């Protein structure tokens, strides 16, 4: 999560779930920046996908980060997986296949999910450097925070927990 040092409006008070971190860099999804509710038809049009549905089912769309902001990403519980999904951690999966969106709108998707446009990315050793400078605070994710019904409150809750522990 962002420390108070980060003043950039794109990252200030964000909580980022790291999906991948290796020698090539890191990738994560911002989980506390819901944008708005958008119909499936609007999402299909915006993303340039073949229209998945004509119904007006509304889905929460999150700002996942500034990289590839027109590309969709799903962070979700691992109760439903596609062939292209991969397990990130116990109970958490990551999928880029728009087929998951169709499953969600048909009521056959994962119990919990975040549908995000864009992601946050770091070059090799960039995230480690930023953590060492105190720009980012780290802590193990918990499913209640990850799939919160009140994502706007996650940063304050997690920062409060860190302060309480000191």
The 10s digit of each residue's pLDDT in 73-96 is 999 999 999 999 999 998 999 999
Beta bridge partners of 37: 60
Per-residue model confidence as pLDDT tens digits over 5-43: 999 999 999 999 999 999 999 999 999 999 988 877 777
Least confident of 27-41, 46-60, 116-130, 146-160: 46-60
Confidence of residue 52 (pLDDT cuts 50, 70, 90): low
> What CA–CA distance (Å, rounded) separates 23 from 48?
33
As a whole number, the mean pLDDT across the chain is: 88
Question: For residues 155 and 78, what is the distance between their CA atoms, to the nearest angstrom?
Answer: 24
CATH of 16-165 given 3.10.20.810, 1.10.238.10, 3.40.1740.10, 1.10.620.20 = 3.40.1740.10
Name the residue ranges covered by the structural domains of the chain: 16-165
Cα 85 from Cα 93, distance rounded (Å): 7
State residue 132's pLDDT score.
95
**Nearest-angstrom CA–CA distance, 136 and 15:** 9
Bridge-based pairing of strands 113-122 and 58-63 is parallel
Q: What angle do CA 102, 106, 109 make, to 5 degrees?
A: 70
CA distance 89 to 101: 21
């Amino acid at each position: 999560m962002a420390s108070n040092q980060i003043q950039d409006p794109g990252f200030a008070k964000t909580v980022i779930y790291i999906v991948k971190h290796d020698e090539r860099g890191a990738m994560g999804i911002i989980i506390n920046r819901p944008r708005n509710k958008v119909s499936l038809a609007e999402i299909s049009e915006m993303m340039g996908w073949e229209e998945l549905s004509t119904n007006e089912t509304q889905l929460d769309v999150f700002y996942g980060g500034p990289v590839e902001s027109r590309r969709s990403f799903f962070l979700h519980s691992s109760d439903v997986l596609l062939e292209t999904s991969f397990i990130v951690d116990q109970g958490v999966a990551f999928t880029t296949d728009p087929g998951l969106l169709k499953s969600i709108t048909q009521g056959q998707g994962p119990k919990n999910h975040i549908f995000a446009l864009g992601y946050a990315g770091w070059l090799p050793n960039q995230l480690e450097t930023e953590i060492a400078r105190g720009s980012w605070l780290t802590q193990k994710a918990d499913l209640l925070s990850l799939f919160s019904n009140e994502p706007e409150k996650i940063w304050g809750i997690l920062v409060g927990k860190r302060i309480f522990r000191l």
